Structure 1
Amino acid sequence: MAAVFLMASVARGMSFLRVLVLIFVFMLSACESLLFFPQQQLVRSPADVGLAYVDVRITTADGGTVSAWWLPAEGKVEATVLFAHGNAENISTHLASVYWLPARGINVLLIDYRGYGQSSGEASVRGAQMDILAALQHLSAQQALADTPIVVLGQSIGASLAGVAVARNGRQYPALAGVILDAGFTGYADIAKKVAASNWLTWPFQCLAAWAMPEGENLLDEISAISPLPLLLIHGRDDPVVPYRHAERLLAAARQPKTLISYEGGHIQTFSRTENRDLVAGFIRDAAERWRASRKQ
């Protein structure tokens, strides 16, 4: 989506008609590439912020390799969080969203989708969902984690990817205890149309942008199937990227148990606030306790 604006900005000096044709051709040929903006270079490691970590390589069902970081919990382990980041850069730039969790007794596995960081392949919606499932399988296979519940945390496009992946496949992973979706959007066509409408140059292509997005992968259509896992939605009321109404529609479509945390802030600014960290950590603890109690029945 941002690539459309980038193309428009570098086209300065071209005729308006030529720019429109260029955008039209780009949309038709690129489709899903409008959603992903991977960066291969890692700009820092967890060690740079004083965290212990382990480099992990996970093999996907189609033979690819997912690069990940494992951040072990400090002290008594409450749960493990599988973190699916947003659509730009890689795990090294999204570390700020989860670096605080180990100090609260929560393991973290951060994964880079295919095409991101040191992961192999090329990014796609279904490919990234496959990467998330490969990470879930990896965690489920660790004997040392047999008694540790897993909570999936997705941000932005990661929320949509992880939400759909869990809705369709969550029952295959008995250790799953809960799902957290931060700044997720209802569907790819909805968000593409919104982005196109926000700029005068791409405004005429709203319907084309929506048409170019993948079909049958929308979180709004799948979110009800996350139940009976507890679901936490988080969204900033001032989010300029994914408007707050997306959270309201997702909440309405989801089934119990479900909760929405809203705050005065922008896109994925959630964890810059201590109160939001406290609420999310509380949700993870509650989900973990519920999971452990169910195992005793």
Structure 2
Amino acid sequence: MTAAATASIPHGTRTRLTFPAGGEGVPAVWLRPEAPAPGQPAALLLHGFSSRGDVMADTVGRALLRRGVASLSPDLPLHGTRGNPLELQALRNPLELARLWRLALQEAGAGVDFLRGEAGRVGVVGYSLGSFLSVVLASGRPEVAALVLAAGGDLPGGTPLTAVARTVADPLRAARKLGPRPLLMLNGRHDPVIRPEQAERLYAAAPGPKDLRWWDGGHAVPSGAVDEGAEWLAGQLGGKDPSLREALSPRERVLSVPLSQGRGALRSNRVRGLLRSCTCITTGKRSQPRKSGSVYVTDSGGARPHSGR
């Protein structure tokens, strides 16, 4: 491992480093809590198409850091500092695409090895493209203790390329191999990229324990879902007691509105203000919610989406 720069940030440190994978160096962002204890939990964060490790580190990584969980966020091949992801769209050779997939999977495995040398229990978080990588990675790495998939699911059905793609990476087959390890899926009800039926197929394939939660939106993950996933993973890995909810700033909390309060609660100035401060996992920038935005409405059965319209 080679470290380029370390900076102090709230609740810990942020280091840009390169870790080894098959003779190559993989650039990544390493977030570590203040005064890390032996055996601290950690998570590997895998970003989506056209994104980069910095985005995962500065959204999911910081949410985990507040809960005492370290994280490693690498740049996938042809992403971030490693090239232009649009080059992937120009590839016509399926063998080259398969090679890049295997390379990304190898590097993700090296990321797990890095974390095992630096931390205790290890989890994996994947967003979109990263969710496909995450479930396949976890299926072959029993040391991955828990898995969070955001905007993840099965391959799209009914296309000529699906059968070919399954020979390289089959999310359903991978999910069936998770065994008793816990899985959390976070998905958008109106996602045009990973449609709800794709998410439901993957969820059905996983043996459990498992949980599928929805936000009322598209492919971009709202900050409330980011915080929900971080809190769940920290609980699975043994991070800080998540009772610090009240200590978080408003935009860092999951919105919880009792069903008994009805739609009027969702139209309140407080809720509207919180929605305006959401941060999007896709770009790391503040999101632009629809007119009334999306929130989680909770009842005794857990979190589920609700529109404030």
Unpaired segments ≥5 residues, structure 1: 1-44, 194-205, 291-297
RMSD, aligned CA:
3.0
Distance 1:58 1:165, change over 3 A: same
Cα deviations across residues 260-285 of structure 1 (Å, max 9, x unaligned)? 11111211314x22xx3443233223
Cα deviations across residues 136-189 of structure 1 (Å, max 9, x unaligned)? 0111123xx2xx211100010101111101102x12x3xx321111111312xx
| Among candidates 51, 71, 75, match of residue 112 of structure 1 | 75
Distance 1:211 1:151, change over 3 A: closer
Is the strand fraction higher in 1 or 2?
A: 2
CA distance in 1, matches of 2:230, 2:131: 18
Letter in 1 for 2:152: G
Is the helix fraction higher in 1 or 2?
A: 1
Q: How does 1:191-202 map to 2 (within 5 A)?
A: none
Distance 1:52 1:76, change over 3 A: closer
SS across alignment from 1:118 = helix
Question: Contact 2:21–2:110 (CA<8 Å) still a contact in 1?
Answer: yes
Correspondence for 1:257: 209
1:237 is aligned to 2:198: no
The CA deviation at 1:74 is 4.3
CA distance in 1, matches of 2:52, 2:238: 32
Correspondence for 1:84: 46
CA distance in 2, matches of 1:289, 1:180: 15
Letter in 1 for 2:235: D
Number of equivalenced pairs = 218
The CA deviation at 1:134 is 0.5
TM-score where L is the length of structure 2? 0.62
1:64 is aligned to 2:36: no
Letter in 2 for 1:66: V
Distance 1:88 1:74, change over 3 A: same
Q: How does 1:161-180 map to 2 (within 5 A)?
A: 161-168=133-140, 170-171=141-142, 173=143, 176-180=144-148
Question: Contact 1:233–1:251 (CA<8 Å) still a contact in 2?
Answer: yes
Q: How does 1:73-152 map to 2 (within 5 A)?
A: 73-74=33-34, 79-98=41-60, 99-119=62-82, 124-142=100-118, 145=119, 148-152=120-124
Correspondence for 1:283: 232
| Among candidates 162, 175, 183, match of residue 223 of structure 1 | 175
Cα deviations across residues 56-81 of structure 1 (Å, max 9, x unaligned)? 211113x2221111011247766212
CA distance in 2, matches of 1:85, 1:278: 16
TM-score where L is the length of structure 1? 0.64
Question: Contact 2:45–2:56 (CA<8 Å) still a contact in 1?
Answer: no
Letter in 2 for 1:54: T
Distance 1:133 1:110, change over 3 A: same
Correspondence for 2:245: none
| Among candidates 136, 150, 154, match of residue 186 of structure 1 | 154
The CA deviation at 1:92 is 3.0
CA distance in 1, matches of 2:36, 2:200: 36
- Aligned identity (percent) is 27
SS across alignment from 2:190 = coil
259-268 vs 154-163, greater mean Cα deviation: 259-268
